[in-house]
Chain A
Amino acid sequence: MANLERAPRKSFNDLIYDLIFKNYVWQSIFRTGYPNTPRNQMLAVATNVFLHLHPTRIHRTHVKITHTYCLGGLSFFMFLGLTVTGVLLMFYYVPSIERAYQDIQELEANVRFGQLLRNMHRWMAHAMIILVLLHMMRVFYTGAYKPPREFNWVVGVVLFILTLLLSFTGYLLPWDQLAFWAITVGTTMVGSAPVLGDESKFLLLGGFSVGPNALIRFYTLHVIGLPLVISIFMAVHFWRVRRDGGLARPL
């Protein structure tokens, strides 16, 4: 019976575990231990600023892939990826009509992984639009816009518009023929509005046609103005998902 008085010997795994997760520094960063018990798992979600977008527990049906296909989350993930690649692109890009096109060419030719970086940003932007559209369809066909989630649906429509605007303002930046004429066509459509059409077009372009002023306006909107606005709306959107009772489910 003498054995009971001695603490059981720690295995090698436990030693490593304690070394990593039970030291002063780790516990100053993550207040909880490693999330391997239900208590720690809930604390890990509740005490982490990023994870606490989520509740600590959710209904079983909501983790089924076919319920949401992760579309909203993936739209947000695209936004994060676009922010990262976008910031990196800003290192190499100057929004003046003298330099913009050349900067893109040099990014593709001279910067290591520059082409890949630009491709990632481009395809993620397209993916985000498609994902946002699909997310809207998912929410519609599951009836998730119904009370009490009416307002969050409206916020979602605004986010869809902002996504299009973000992509549209980014479209001009390479300053090639594709960019120039796409924006010319797009802003001409704005100009045909029955009221304030010409005025809105002038405001958008900073002139009567696409030129240096338009480039700097689109750039500023693209890298700071619209991202700020969309971040605010996203914060509201996510917050309201929680406040309105999580994902919709049958009454």
Chain B
Amino acid sequence: MVSRAAAAIRTRPRREREQEVLVWPDLVFIEFISALIFSIALMVLSAMVNAPLLNRADPDTTPNPSKAPWYFLNLQELLLHMEPAWAGVIVPTIALVLLAAIPYWDRDTEGQGVWFGTKFAGRLTVFGFTAATLITSLLIIWDGSLHVVWTENIIRGLGLNSDFSWPGGLDWFRNLRGFDTGIPWESLGFTIGGFTMFEDWRAIPLGIPGTTTDPWLLNLNFPSFLSQQIIPVATMVGLPIAFVLFCKMLGWIQTRRDIALLIFSAFIGVYLTTTIVGTAFRGQGQDLKPPWDIVVLEE
């Protein structure tokens, strides 16, 4: 029984010597030059820009905003839109596991060793990246309630209604938490037979008292659960599926490699967008702000 990997190696055509070059000098030269360029570039950068050194660490003075190192700001950005356990741990863990699992799912050996090896690879990459970047930005704008501010400003600015404010009936659409605070959950109980269902949506009894000490398991706060867990998770699962279905409809997806290309490109888009927003567009209290309006206060 030959393993799939061994078979893959064996099926390679025999090396054609005339297609080969010597590592010394051809490759070693390139490596040397690229190392040299990077050394010089970093030396110049280091001579011009100093590494930051702020005041001595002081546990009693909290900078506002406090930020993680830039490469974790995508996670810190997620933190603003969902339950911390999802944003800080579960989502990155699942993302990394899925990332590592790509080659075990896309096992076809066709199309390796060339850039964008399938027929529609270019389109899938551009579409995945652009659409994901756009949708992520829109979601961030929506959860930052910027659409509320903009709508109010535009309607006031046009002189249509000088003291227009976002209608109360649309409070649920202010941001993600709107699904929690903007819906009159108190009046949403209903009766089936003789039973009154969910008199209190914020404390739906789940467990038998005494079997668990976890308040979350005892009484489910459904509105909060909906806005902090169901909707974010459904978005993160649903959008990739929608992407795949859409591209399938267009006929761009023929192999698993195509799906991998689409989702990976979308992932890169989300990764970049959340990193950039978290780094440059989050001011005090993690409010959405343009980079030039961001001041760090120490409190």
Contacts and interface: CB of A to CB of B under 8 A. Distances in A.
B56 A168 contact: no
B108 interface: yes
Nearest to B75: A189
Contacts of B260: 140
B11 A186 contact: no
A225 interface: no
Scoring B38, B62, B90 by chain A CB atoms within 10 A of each residue's CB, the highest score goes to: B38
B133 to A, nearest CB: 15
A123 B51 contact: yes
B69 A180 contact: no
B191 interface: no
Contacts of B186: none
The bracket for how many chain A residues form the interface is 35 or more
Nearest to A140: B264
Contacts of A97: 57
Nearest to B106: A146
A41 interface: yes
A250 B88 CA distance: 39
A97 B112 CA distance: 51
A171 B268 contact: no
Given A56-B23, A143-B113, A180 B57 contact: yes
A120 B27 contact: no
B99 A146 contact: no
B38 A251 contact: no
B124 to A, nearest CB: 11
B115 A141 contact: yes
Interface centre among B25, B71, B79 (most CB of A within 10 A): B71
B66 A181 contact: yes
A58 B84 contact: no
Interface in B47-97: 47, 49-59, 61-63, 66-72, 75-76, 79, 84-85, 87-90, 96
A249 B113 contact: yes
Contacts of B15: 59
Contacts of B264: 140
A87 interface: no
B175 interface: no
Contacts of B28: 45, 51, 54
Given A60-B20, A189-B68, A250-B113, A137 B57 contact: no
B237 interface: no
B237 to A, nearest CB: 18
B42 interface: yes
A248 B112 contact: yes
Interface stretch (A13-21, A22-30, A100-108, A231-239): A100-108
Nearest to B4: A147
Contact of A101 (B27, B57, B68): B57
Nearest to B117: A143
A248 to B, nearest CB: 4
A15 B260 CA distance: 60
User: Which of B53, B76, B79 gathers the greatest number of chain A CB atoms within 10 Å?
Assistant: B53
A93 interface: no
A144 B39 CA distance: 28
Contact of A189 (B21, B89, B268): B89
Interface string B1-31: 0001110110111010101111111111011
B216 to A, nearest CB: 10
B234 interface: no
A164 interface: yes
Contacts of A197: 85, 89
Given A77-B38, A189-B68, A193-B85, A148 B5 contact: yes
A63 B21 contact: yes
Nearest to A73: B31
Interface in A160-199: 161, 164, 167-168, 171, 174-182, 184-186, 188-190, 192-194, 197
B57 A179 contact: yes
Nearest to A157: B100
A123 B72 CA distance: 17
B198 interface: no
B192 interface: no
A153 B89 contact: no
28 contacts: A51-B28, A57-B17, A59-B15, A59-B21, A70-B30, A70-B34, A73-B35, A74-B34, A77-B35, A77-B38, A101-B57, A122-B46, A142-B115, A143-B114, A144-B113, A148-B4, A148-B8, A150-B107, A175-B56, A177-B61, A178-B52, A182-B67, A186-B68, A194-B85, A211-B59, A248-B113, A249-B113, A251-B112
